[in-house]
């Protein structure tokens, strides 16, 4: 969940403490089968890092400078974010593109800066106007390629967020989401430079959606629904069921001579076909 600027500092600290306690006691999150990250404001990052220390929860930034350290007043560099412990960075959100005129070229430069410093980009893409599912899939695959042009090797978290669904009463239709996310997954799977990438959905995402989407996505990018920690835990529970299902489907028959009980055939944890499921806040 990107907190955007909804929370003031004290409310954010209270939310961090509550969610950190729940994350530490949730078997799937604590055990790593459900991966979770939270993206607060820049000023809230140190408090988030303190609250989630000792848990598997990752802390991210809502943006990152495309520039190296230097005379760039007001920018926050990937160097500094990595130094304090930020592990993911939201890049190319529709609001940044619309309100601050960020182009695909700028987005690619920010993704490059993040990866160069070991920060995984949460690359937000999505069609601005509602299209049919096949047309939307084509448009998003093309946008993904443009936003990764010249970006160094490394995994990304592709966040499909159709602009018309952001802040809406309901998410995009399930079959629409599935068509686009499967096309995006095929695109990243076909690119050796993006090994370990995942595809998630955002845009009025909330409880119940992940269970309906099943294997067509690797997780959700939550927004306002996760302001309520109870709703967030409900999504973790759904993700736990999906992760358990993926484990069952990715374990191959045990060859003769192997040690009993060892898992076989599990792809790496960051793969789009992994046993882990993302629930991103």
Which of 29-38, 57-66, 89-98, 263-272 is predicted with the least confidence, judged by mean pLDDT?
Answer: 263-272
Q: What is the pLDDT of residue 280?
A: 65
Q: Distance from first CA to last CA of the chain, Å, rounded?
A: 2
Is residue 86's pLDDT more than 90?
yes
User: Contacts by 109-114 with C-beta closer than 8 Å and gap 24+?
Assistant: 109/66, 110/63, 110/64, 110/65, 110/66, 111/147, 111/148, 111/151, 111/156, 112/66, 112/150, 112/151, 112/152, 113/64, 113/65, 113/66, 113/67, 113/68, 113/77, 113/78, 114/64, 114/78, 114/89
Mean pLDDT (whole number) for 5-22? 98
Is residue 255's pLDDT more than 60?
no
Is residue 103's pLDDT more than 70?
yes
Could you read off the pLDDT of 55-70 as tens digits, one per residue? 999 999 999 999 999 9
Which of 120-124, 196-200, 205-209 is predicted with the least confidence, judged by mean pLDDT?
Answer: 205-209
Residues annotated catalytic, as ranges: 93, 161
């Amino acid at each position: 969940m990107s907190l955007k600027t909804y929370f003031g500092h004290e409310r954010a600290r209270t939310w961090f403490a509550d969610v950190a306690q729940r994350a530490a006691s949730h078997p799937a999150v604590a055990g790593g089968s459900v991966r979770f990250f939270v993206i607060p404001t820049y000023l809230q990052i140190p408090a988030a890092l303190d609250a989630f220390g000792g848990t598997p929860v990752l802390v991210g930034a809502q943006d990152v400078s495309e520039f190296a350290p230097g005379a760039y007043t007001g920018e926050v560099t990937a160097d500094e974010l990595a130094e304090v412990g930020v592990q993911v960075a939201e890049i190319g959100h529709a609001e940044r593109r619309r309100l601050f005129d960020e182009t695909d070229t700028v987005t690619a430069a920010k993704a490059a800066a993040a990866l160069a410093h070991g920060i995984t980009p949460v690359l937000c893409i999505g069609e601005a106007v509602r299209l049919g599912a096949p047309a939307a899939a084509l448009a998003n695959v093309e946008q993904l390629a443009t936003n990764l042009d010249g970006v160094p090797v490394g995994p990304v978290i592709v966040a499909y967020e159709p602009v018309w669904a952001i802040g809406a009463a309901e998410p995009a239709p399930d079959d629409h989401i599935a068509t686009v996310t499967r096309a995006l997954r095929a695109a990243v799977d076909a690119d050796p430079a993006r090994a370990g990438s995942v595809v998630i959905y955002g845009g009025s995402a909330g409880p119940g959606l992940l269970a309906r989407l099943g294997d067509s996505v690797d997780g959700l990018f939550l927004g306002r629904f996760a302001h309520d920690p109870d709703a967030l835990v409900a999504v973790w529970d759904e993700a736990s069921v999906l992760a358990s299902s993926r484990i069952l489907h990715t374990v191959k028959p045990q060859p003769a001579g192997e040690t009993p009980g060892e898992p076989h055939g599990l792809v790496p944890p960051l793969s789009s076909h992994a046993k882990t499921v993302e629930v991103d806040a």
